[in-house]
Amino acid sequence: MEKRRFSIEKELRCKSANIIWPLLSTPEGLAKWIANEVERNGDQLQFTWGEVWSHHEIRTASVVEEARGEYIRYSWENDSSEDFWELRIEKSDITGDYILIITDHALPEDVESLETIWESNLERLHHTTGL
């Protein structure tokens, strides 16, 4: 079955791409809001949820495409590169703040649960960074 593309937008209370970009593109930044731990080796990132000594999940993603300060596109290992997930920032013409646009792909029956996971990640981003 073919995966469906969906997007979530969140206005961040920040006018500086230099503050936001590391949260989207570095292991330290991603670990603040997407996973418990993120390690990078070249274009490969290993995401760990949970504690290694107890129940946990590890997934590996590759950086597929990046325009520094604009967007970064990842693809999970064993997924088609067409089934990427992307983190993009755009400046709001109205407020001057940046908007984070998350694009992901999921099977139709999984879209709602994946949207819930992204919303939870965005709450974590806000709580850990204030954005």
Residue 53 has pLDDT above 90, yes or no: no
- What are the pLDDT digits (tens) for 21-34? 999 999 999 999 99
Cα–Cα distances (Å) from 49 to 10, 61, 91, 92, 111, in that order, read 23, 14, 31, 32, 20
Per-residue pLDDT for 1 more than 80? no
Report, as an integer, the average pLDDT of 51-61: 86
Question: What's 92's DSSP letter?
Answer: -
**Helix intervals (H) in 36-129:** 111-129
List of E strands, 2-43? 4-11, 37-41
* 110 — pLDDT class (breaks 50, 70, 90): very high
- What's the pTM value of the predicted model, to 2 decimals? 0.93
pLDDT at 76: 95
